[in-house]
Chain A
Amino acid sequence: MCVVKDTNRINAIDRAFNALGGVETWIKPGDRVLLKVNAAFALPPALCATTHPDLVYEISSRCLKAGAERVVVTDNPINDPLSCFSLTGIAKAAESAGAKVILPKEGLFKPMSIQQGVLIRNWPVLYAPFVNINKVIGVAPVKDHHRSGASMSLKNWYGLLGGRRNIFHQQIHDIIKELAMMIRPTLVILDGIFTMIGNGPTGGSLSDLKETNTLIVSSDPVAADAFGARLLQKEAEDLLFIQKAEAAGAGKSDYRSLKLKQI
């Protein structure tokens, strides 16, 4: 895990990968990579409610340069999917890097269950983009979230659910835990260059943002979120989903115990 202090996303991701030995540490020639972005809202990138297109471009092109056979970028956003992918700049960034955007069309979902899952039982999941994929990278911004406390890399997997997934809000921490059990990512990139400290997860105004100049690259999404919580002036113990995900074996919340590089 690497935590970079920087004001610029491109510099930050560059420095983080250099410190970790390049994206080649994880991505080998011939790999098929899926980039799970947060494209939830049809808002411009400056409002930081969605994954920044600079990161999409940088990560996709680095994976392809490392020899990945293909990179697909997907999400099942809350707002109109076409508007989301175009207005957030994610579609353009992905395509110019040579990655393929997969919109959540009907027919790409498949009812799935997870072992020991209580909520994800026979529930439609955005499945088709994962076919033949062997590496999954999650890229998410750090955002305030009134119901769960925070929306970061674990909450980002929510965008893989289909159907009327909003009923899971009744048990928000449990659904995030089950998603953490379902997706074991190769890598997560948590973008706290700006943090949405209020009015989340939609934001909508620059005044909802705070410059926190932090970017986290981690193979452990629980650790990444535990660190990210600090950007929201919270502790990992305040966010029950982190504890639940940890108890389910999805990672370690004590990021200090990991090989942590802070640069």
Chain B
Amino acid sequence: MKIVTARRISQIFFLTVFLWTCIVSTLGDSWWQLRGWPVKWIIELDPLVGLGTFLTTHTVYRGLLWGLAVIVLTLVLGRFFCGWICPFGTLHQAIGYLGRRNLKTSEQINLNRFNPRQSLKYWILIFLLSASAADIINFITGLSVRDPRAPWTAAALGCILAILLLSIFTRNERTGGTLPFIVVCLSGFLFSFLSEPTPLLQSSLQTGLLDPIPLMYRSVNLIWVPLMDIFFKQTAPIPRYYEGTWIIGAIFLALLFINLKIPRFYCRYICPLGALLGLLSRNSVWRIGKTDAGCASCLMCERDCEGGCAPSSRIIISECVLCFNCTDACHTREILYQMRPSASGETLVPEFSRRSFLISMLSGISIIPIIRTNGFLATNWNPNMIRPPGALPEKDFISRCIKCGHCMRVCPTNVIQPAAFQGGIEGIWSPILNFRIGTSGCRHTCIACGHLCPTGAIRPLSIDERMGMKFYLDQGPIRIGTAFIDRGRCFPWGMDKPCIVCQENCPVSPKAIFTRIYFSELRNASPVMVSGADSNRIYLKGSPLVPGQLNTGDYFCTFKKGIDLEPRRIISNSADQIVISSKTPWKFLPDAGNEIQLLIRLQQPYVDIEKCIGCGICEHECPVSGKRAIRVTAENESRSETKTLTPRRQERTI
């Protein structure tokens, strides 16, 4: 088998696995639904996810160690992930091929020329990682010398230093001031053991914006799966909606179609994961290269070169995605995957000066503190930002969320939505709950989202913990917010109409929504006067009523004056008669000429903040269908200590 055939099989395999994980992220017990399928695996393979969350949290979340395997293999083999695994890369390759297949060979070669601007992706990578790096800096500088973790950290830093030094000296490369620069940086870290961490430095994980795996999951899960379902109706019987998908879709399509003009534009110019793997692959053991500098220079090796890495001349190692189209195209077998450097010389990475590095690093490090001066993580938090149950406190959440949309895809009620700017610019496309979309609030017995979150931004809860049962009895259920009644919009409060749909649907026991009865006097054009009465019937003067207008069971009547003023339920009425319930006859018959007071009995809803969990079913069901008369906001959510509404201190569980 030719190696390009093997590569194509691998690409199709991983693309299939990718699409399969999108489909099976469906709650249910059929074989094609969530039945232990490794739906997080492709994300876990992505080392940028692991590295990013390591930088922002100085921890690695379970499955993300898969990324380490990819890193090690990249150090040995090169960017195999880009050419052999990445499903987004596969799409780019396919569309790029379609775009150039009818061109002349010379035009094809031109399209795949190396462009120095390919270094843009390194700017992006350094920018995004620097934005994530503050936590690790704070962690290291925060360690005291006596901390048991300090020697390990020092050892790790020493190892990194040694590897860097080794790699610089084993390759013939212009080192310039790189070595002093690295030494200064790392010794700065080592010395900083003695100093205090600065609160100015803050990290935020933003790699998910451009990381190809989360980007593709977001696009497929939120757009293509629901669109396909319009025909197949397999993953949900009712169409699923996601807010703001036009921009996610526009980016996805634009990135795909641009391949028609510039093959693998995204992989060559944008992809931060490709940049990371490129940096790792510069010193890989095996690399593509020529065996003979004096080949015929037919340039056939560049006709289908996916990376645009110039294999015919001085190959740029970090740009090579190991597509093997060059070795396949070379008739004289003078270009090989080998352990020696190319006979025609090699460049390890595109020109990327220390100055460029510093600019992107400094802007990355400073952008987060600049953004946070808006106070979104402090007193200016947005009450409309309701995070899924099990979400970490906001600062930790934003350090982990890669905006992949797994939680939004699996949510059985479709309430988890990609945020626009509700969570600030850092929270764009992170999950927030919108109770107006979806089939009914956040089901209080459901824990699906946390179990699909690949980075632990949403903790995997047990049902017991979510509902506050058994071991978690003292702690109570997880609250994601609190419902507030907007009395001006509420039927029984503002409009004299019975309703209490919210109370009926409140799922907790005992209910968090309760009612108090209030008798409200009807608006009447003219007074209704008694002409006569028997025990459960009143005869009226004239014909002041519309027949049947008071027979819904919610109308009551009493008198303006008298002894027995307790309201009686009206069973029915005609134009000149009112019939009351025979179970509650008048104790004293009213006198003729007494004025009747017509009342409507209203059950007015109240929210018990000790019981409300913020599930939003009330908001979803509220018949005031535009801006609901009961709405959930993030106050009292369990994950935050500063948003509590009650003085009782909640045990922090994380």
A residues with a Cβ closer than 8 A to B are: 41-43, 78-83, 86-87, 103-106, 145-147, 164, 166-167, 169-174, 198-199, 201-205, 207-208, 237-238, 240-241, 243
A199: B residues at CB distance < 8 A: 509-511
Q: Does B237 contact A (CB under 8 A)?
A: yes
A sample of 28 inter-chain contacts (CB < 8 A) reads: A41-B507, A42-B443, A78-B621, A80-B412, A80-B413, A80-B414, A80-B440, A80-B443, A82-B236, A82-B237, A104-B237, A105-B238, A146-B515, A147-B499, A147-B503, A147-B603, A169-B500, A170-B499, A174-B552, A199-B510, A199-B511, A204-B507, A205-B510, A207-B509, A208-B509, A237-B583, A240-B571, A243-B571
Beta-carbon contact of B603 and A170 below 8 Å: no
Chain A residues within an 8 Å CB radius of B497: 170
Interface Cβ pair total, 8 Å cutoff: 109
Task: Name the residue on A nearest B492 (C-beta).
Answer: A170
Complex Cα–Cα for A106 and B617 (A):
21
* B464 → A minimal CB distance (Å): 14
> Do A172 and B509 touch (CB < 8 A)?
no
B625 engages A202 (CB within 8 Å):
no
Q: Which of B515, B553, B571 has the largest count of A CB atoms less than 10 A from its CB?
A: B553
CA separation between A99 and B507, bound complex, in Å?
A: 29
B491 pairs with A166, CB closer than 8 A: no
Interface status of B498 (Cβ within 8 A of chain A) = yes
Nearest neighbor of B507 in chain A, beta-carbon distance:
A202
Q: Cβ of A166 and Cβ of B509 under 8 Å apart?
A: no
**Which one, B236, B491, B506, B623, contacts A164 given CB within 8 A?**
B623
Question: Beyond A43-B445, A164-B625, A173-B552, is A146–B503 a contact (Cβ under 8 Å)?
Answer: yes
Q: Are A83 and B443 in contact (CB under 8 A)?
A: yes
Q: How far is the CB of B412 from chain A (nearest CB, A)?
A: 5
Classify chain B: how many residues form its interface, as a range.
Answer: 35 or more
Is the pair A169, B439 in contact by a Cβ cutoff of 8 Å?
Answer: no
- Shortest Cβ distance from residue A3 to the other chain B in the assembled complex, whole angstroms: 24
* Separation of A80 and B416 alpha carbons in the complex (Å): 14
CB distance from A123 to the nearest CB of B (A): 14
Which partner residue on chain A sits nearest B499 by CB separation? A169
Among A83, A87, A103, A106, max chain B CB count under 10 A is at A83
**Which B residues between 391 and 432 are near A, CB-CB below 8 angstroms?**
412-414
* A169 touching B236, Cβ below 8 Å: no
Interchain CB contact under 8 A, B413 and A83 = yes
Q: A83-B412, A202-B507 are in contact. Are A169 and B498 (CB under 8 A)?
A: yes
Given contacts A146-B515, A164-B623, A166-B621, A79 and B581 within 8 Å (CB-CB): no
CB-CB under 8 A for A81 and B509, given A164-B623, A237-B583: no
Which of A86, A170, A171, A204 is the one whose CB lies under 8 Å from B509? A204
| 3 tightest A-B CB contacts, nearest first | A204-B509, A205-B509, A240-B553
A156 CA to B237 CA in the complex, in Å? 22
Q: How far is the CB of B174 from chain A (nearest CB, A)?
A: 62
